[in-house]
Amino acid sequence: MSDNLERVGTEEVLAAVTNPRGARTRRGAVTVALYAAAVLLAMGLASLLIVGVTDASPGEVFSALYEGSLSRPSAIGLTLDQAMPILIVALGAVISTRAGMFSIGPEGQLTIGALVGAIVAFKVGGPPAVVLPLTLVAAAAGGALWAGIAALLRFWRGVDVVISTLLLNFIAVEALSFAVNKSWLLQETSSNTQKLPQSDRLADSYQITRLGSQPGFSVSSAIFLAVALVVVVAFVLARTRWGFRLRMLGLNPNAARTAGVSMAVVGGSALMLGGAFAGLAGAVMFTGTVFRIQPGVSANVGFDGLLCALIARRNALATVPVAFFFGMLRAGGGFLAATGVPRYLVDIVQALLVLAALMPPIVTALWDKRQTMRTARREAAQHATEAPAMTGAAA
């Protein structure tokens, strides 16, 4: 049995060497098959759950998901609106994780970005053509500085990035709560004695313009910004010296240090860029879709963006379809909840589909690791058998 497995592994290695294009084609077909199987399994589990918990049929539930995300132009526009901030956060997460800086703070960075952007939008007067870009830039700076706290703690005091960014998420939530409960800061201006903990609604002139109009196709023009950022990040990571240093630092910090790459400079800048992208996503949400700052404004977009980057395996271009998939889940999930299906069931269905998207890369990585170990054992056995023969020949 083991001989057969070794022979299969050898044949695969030889095929990959002699026909790399064919090997890539087969690998792509296997990956597609894995994704299809994972999605079907997730949908099967979701169907069993739906039948067991509600009176709705699985067909009605999945039809509602489709109805809310892709069935008509307005639904597609909603899906794109939901996907845009996730995509922007994911691009920042790709940058930071490429450098080995695994930050789980995009949620807090997005919150701070939206908060800083709102302060600029409400407190700085001037023409919209000036205030709107200033709002976006200020939000990105706010997210970058918030991530910079984690970078400072990492390279000054050796605090793990995962721990610091996690704790900073909670501080960001409290900072926003403080801002929307102070009349001199962001609390809404109202004649009511009991004011809600939220800001005023952003004036129409300071909002990001939209392409199209309801009830037809309508999407925020920030989609052009998101697409431009995808192109820039993909180019920088693949074609520039800084992108090469970033990958080197993430793959082997010791080798990067030997080659003269400063971990504090490159790693810190990557972490702060990730925060800047998350802060920018917060401003895009504030000026493009929600128009008001209140507790929970981040709506887990930061965590979804981080998950999007991980599913895309830190590939900037691959974040586009993954973010669109997340946008579909959000848009369809909202429609599904409106049909009377419990919200917790909507979240479970979404979680199962996300796990389905995560499984193929994990299975592929485990298979590659197994093949590598098998090849290493085979080479070690070959050297062990050749060594006595070489010793005898020398004698």
115 lies in some domain: yes
68 lies in some domain: no
If we measure between CA atoms, which residue out of 149, 154, 108 comes closest to residue 272?
A: 149
Q: How many domains does the chain have?
A: 2
- Report whether 241 contacts 91 (CB < 8 A): no
Cα gap 22→16, rounded to integer Å: 7
394 lies in some domain: no
Beta-carbon count within 10 A of 76 CB:
19
Q: What is the CATH number of the domain that holds 210?
A: 1.10.3470
Same domain, 214 and 284: yes
Cα gap 74→268, rounded to integer Å: 41
352 lies in some domain: yes
- Report whether 134 contacts 267 (CB < 8 A): no
For 358-372, write each residue's pLDDT tens digit. Answer: 788 788 878 878 888
Cα gap 37→54, rounded to integer Å: 25
Same domain, 280 and 364: no
What backbone torsions phi and psi does residue 220 show, to the nearest 5 degrees? -65, 140
- The per-residue pLDDT for 9 is 44
- Report whether 193 contacts 205 (CB < 8 A): no
60 lies in some domain: no
For 341-354, write each residue's pLDDT tens digit. Answer: 777 777 787 788 77
- Report whether 257 contacts 263 (CB < 8 A): yes
Cα gap 106→147, rounded to integer Å: 9
59 lies in some domain: no
Q: Which residues contact 212 (CB under 8 A, 6 or more apart)?
A: 73, 77, 218, 219
64 lies in some domain: no
H or E element, residue 228: helix 222-239
The widest CA-to-CA distance across the chain, in whole angstroms, is: 101
393 lies in some domain: no
Same domain, 238 and 351: no
- The per-residue pLDDT for 13 is 43
Same domain, 305 and 356: no
> Final residue of a domain: which of 323, 341, 359?
341
Strands (E), the chain: 210-212, 218-220
Q: Which residues contact 142 (CB under 8 A, 6 or more apart)?
A: 112, 113, 115, 116, 117, 279
> Final residue of a domain: which of 308, 324, 341?
341
If we measure between CA atoms, which residue out of 138, 96, 84 comes closest to residue 281?
A: 84
Cα gap 65→149, rounded to integer Å: 40
Domain containing 290 equals 74-341
- pLDDT beneath 70: ranges in the chain: 1-24, 56, 193, 338-340, 386-395
- Report whether 310 contacts 323 (CB < 8 A): no
Same domain, 188 and 265: yes
- The per-residue pLDDT for 205 is 92
Same domain, 335 and 351: no
Same domain, 39 and 78: no
User: First vs last Cα of the chain: how many Å apart?
Assistant: 37
- Report whether 208 contacts 288 (CB < 8 A): yes
Q: Which residues contact 74 (CB under 8 A, 6 or more apart)?
A: 214, 215, 216, 217, 218
- The per-residue pLDDT for 387 is 62
Same domain, 330 and 358: no
- The per-residue pLDDT for 7 is 43
Q: Which residues contact 277 (CB under 8 A, 6 or more apart)?
A: 88, 89, 91, 92, 93, 95, 140, 143, 229
Cα gap 119→200, rounded to integer Å: 11
Same domain, 168 and 31: no
Same domain, 232 and 313: yes
Same domain, 287 and 364: no
- The per-residue pLDDT for 393 is 58
Same domain, 206 and 334: yes
- Report whether 132 contacts 225 (CB < 8 A): no
